[in-house]
Structure 1
Amino acid sequence: MRVLLFLLVINYASIHGQNTLQLVEEKQPTEASIALVSWLEGHWKGTAFGGVTEEIWSPIDGKSMMFIFRHLINGKVNFYEIGHIKEVDSFLVFELRHFDAKLHAWEEKNEVQQFKFIKHEGNRVYFDGFTFEKVSPNEINIYGLIGNKDGSESEVIFNYKKQ
């Protein structure tokens, strides 16, 4: 009986302990303005994947906010991301591309990773597989679903402090 109870508690925690959501295909995206994520603007640093992470988000212009991401291990660039959150026809989308340290793209030439907006709730903005959380004016969390080699997904957290 104790084993069954333990497994139920673990299963409940794994289902409800997640900070990310996934969009149900049949559901229409929620309308939202780019102003909803204006608090991302700035220079942010943290740690993840055994190294230093850094993101720089631009001010809103042209109904978009662009960003650049850099991951360093032992003082050397591991990889980059470039992307944006943009407003298109009253809907938001988060898009990005990955590059190695020599700026060779991971994705195919015309391929872009795209994550549609799901909802805004309190201090969190949810995209399909990513959540942006304003902890304070000087701290944010970004939660993301990352694919594993076995085909499963794991949620990772990027905690950033404003520089």
Structure 2
Amino acid sequence: MKTFAFAAVAAFAAFAQPAAAQHRIQPAPPPSAEDVRVIESASWLAGRWVGEGLGGELEETWAPPAGGQMVGHFRLVRDGVVVFYELCLLDVVDGGLRMRVKHVNPDFVGWEERDGWHAFDPVSVSEDALSFTGLTLRRTGEDAFEAVIAIRYADGVREETLRMRRAPM
């Protein structure tokens, strides 16, 4: 009995969170049939991708569409050292495809405010390209795509091209 009580207390402690860390889960509303159709146009992006760009090695992984959204993550590695990560969300807003991104350093300190993100707003969607303000993902083959992104540097804005190819998980 003492073993059971100890195990129960240990399990509770393992899942307990300080009051500041507790939150209520707020599920997304069910997607409309049109939202599902729009997000399905990005389904070619699902899977693991590797490539080069931004002076390093890139890795990006996307889950297939579910609930009218797609979720992905990205990392940049230079000289064997992680530079940053991104958590990415594709969803439908005003009938168009939007990408939202949260950036974090390797120590998981975020760049954006807690409830903030960087948004790439909808421009257009076609069979082989997803275009947003400041970002275009264009298929260049069955297992390849390039991302052209406008990045603000200290001396102005430059377009960077990231070339990606499908890779095994």
Quick check: TM above 0.5? yes
Structure 2 counterpart of 1:73, from 60, 64, 78 = 78
Partners in 1 of 2:55 and 2:96 — Cα distance? 35
TM-score by length of 2: 0.73
Is the counterpart of residue 154 in structure 1 residue 149 in structure 2?
Answer: no
Name the structure, 1 or 2, with higher relative contact order (CA <8 Å, separation 6+).
1
- Other structure's SS at 1:78 match: strand
Partners in 1 of 2:56 and 2:93 — Cα distance? 34
Spell out, residue by residue over 1:31-62, the C-alpha distance to the aligned partner (whole angstroms, 9 max, x if none). Answer: 97111111101100011122110000110001
Partners in 1 of 2:126 and 2:92 — Cα distance? 18
Partners in 2 of 1:33 and 1:141 — Cα distance? 21
Deviation at 1:89, TM superposition (A): 5.2
Per the alignment, residue 125 of structure 2 pairs with 120
Per the alignment, residue 47 of structure 1 pairs with 52
- Other structure's SS at 1:60 match: coil
Deviation at 1:107, TM superposition (A): 1.1
Per the alignment, residue 6 of structure 2 pairs with none
Structure 2 counterpart of 1:90, from 95, 117, 125 = 95
Q: Which blocks of at least 5 consecutive residues in structure 1 are unaligned?
A: 1-30
Spell out, residue by residue over 1:107-138, the C-alpha distance to the aligned partner (whole angstroms, 9 max, x if none). Answer: 12221101111113462221011001011121
Deviation at 1:75, TM superposition (A): 1.4
Partners in 2 of 1:72 and 1:56 — Cα distance? 15
Instruction: List structure 1 runs of 4+ shifted beyond 4 angstroms.
Output: none
**Identical residues among aligned pairs (%):** 27
What is the Cα-based RMSD across aligned positions, in Å? 1.6
Per the alignment, residue 30 of structure 2 pairs with none
Partners in 1 of 2:58 and 2:148 — Cα distance? 13
Q: How many residues align?
A: 132
Q: Which blocks of at least 5 consecutive residues in structure 2 are unaligned?
A: 1-34
